[in-house]
Amino acid sequence: MNIPLVDLRKQYDPLKEDILQRMSTVLDGMHLFLGENVQALEGEFAAFCGASHGIGVGDGTDALHLIIRAMGIGPGDEVITVANTFVATVEAIVLAGATPVFVDIDPQTHLMDVQQVADAVTARTRAILPVHLYGQPVDMAPVQEIAQAHGLKIIEDACQAHGAEYRGQRTGSLGDAAAFSFYYSKNLGAYGEGGMVVTSDDDLAERIRMLRDHGSKERYYHDLVGCNSRLDELQAAVLRAKLPHLSAWNALRSEHARAYSALLAESSAVLPTEMPDVRHVYHLYAIRVPQRDALRARLQERGVGTGIHYPVPIHLQRAYAYLGYQGGDLPVTESAAREILSLPMYPELADDEIAYVADAVREFFGEKALTRTA
């Protein structure tokens, strides 16, 4: 078998006619930026998240960066986050002139260790930026309590968590504002770049709308120093075609995760831990194995695509050496980076493909295959 980490073609084929028709309509009208599709998507996605406002932007990085800037966070300010994330989380903080302060992760969920957050708060802290990694929300109640006690903002990095829920609330409604990415491989992905800010803060939403469009409300009149980060109409049209399917796709991802976990329950791999009171949408199905690189090579030989999310924690990246972190400062994060391996995960995975992947993992450890695989 040949099973990629993500198969976009399987999702595109049944939607092809609808997507091409929507794109054709956009091109016929030639209103390519901030038109009816962007405006409609902003409202539809905000409602999906349980928030008042959606602001379409260029990508997930810009979504985070614009939230931070719109909150007035900049030089001299600190933002508490994690190093077990894609670099964009930290880029957004640094590009705004602020300083990231890292806490370690929980060894079971690989999400922010919320017990460490209170100790990381200083007089310079302005915000907490939890990352809902792999599709699972951070334990937000303690984060909310700390933020309220210290007068801090909460910025959700929900770029991997479209439709995930914490105690019945969807990501995007758990803090002051949230950033989503529509990178092509996400649970809701565009066919290019795209992102969205979601918030119920009217003033913050208005400021972000201005910042994304050169700091203006009216063309050629600029009240703020902004930038160019506008979601385009073609991507919005694609995303509107996909959004009605998102909940069903997320349900399939959860089914696939349960199947993987059942087939690998007695294996030597450490499986994902799903917290109580959450709805995990499994953007990624990430296992942990000490022999990660050898397993990855063996799976590649068997035609199984894998990913490493992420091989080098942000605090140990050369670009962020100036922050002064050393190896050993975040031991759980560093251990995870050596052992994490993402298995194929997308809604259209077939049962026999999941079984094939699981058996290949078991066989690597010298464990008996549970099914007969080709």
Whether 2 is in a domain gets the answer no
State what percent of residues in the chain have pLDDT above 70.
Answer: 99
Give the burial class of 244: count Cβ atoms within 10 A of its Cβ; 0-12 exposed, 13-18 middle, 19 or more buried: exposed
Residue 124 has pLDDT above 50, yes or no: yes
pLDDT for position 374: 44
Do 85 and 203 lie in one domain? The reply is yes
Do 22 and 148 lie in one domain? The reply is yes
Q: What six digits make up the tokens of 32?
A: 């390519």
**What's 318's domain CATH number?**
3.90.1150.10
- Average pLDDT, integer, range 17-21: 97
Do 57 and 193 lie in one domain? The reply is yes
State what percent of residues in the chain have pLDDT above 90.
Answer: 97
Domain boundary among 218, 244, 270: 244
∠ CA 42-249-276, rounded to 5°: 95
- pLDDT tens digits, one per residue of 248-277: 999 999 999 999 999 999 999 999 999 999
- Average pLDDT, integer, range 181-206: 97
- pLDDT tens digits, one per residue of 228-248: 999 999 999 999 999 999 999
* Contact yes or no for 7/13 (Cβ under 8 A): no
Do 125 and 201 lie in one domain? The reply is yes
Do 167 and 279 lie in one domain? The reply is no
Dihedrals phi, psi of 235, to nearest 5 degrees? -65, -40
CA–CA dist 243, 330 (Å, integer): 37
Domain of 55 in residue numbering reads as 8-244
Do 66 and 174 lie in one domain? The reply is yes
How many separate domains does the chain show?
2
Residue 373 has pLDDT above 50, yes or no: no
Whether 373 is in a domain gets the answer no
CA–CA dist 87, 7 (Å, integer): 24
- pLDDT tens digits, one per residue of 20-32: 999 999 999 998 8
Do 211 and 264 lie in one domain? The reply is no
Run of H or E including 99: strand 99-103
Do 45 and 191 lie in one domain? The reply is yes
The whole-model pTM stands at 0.97
Do 189 and 233 lie in one domain? The reply is yes
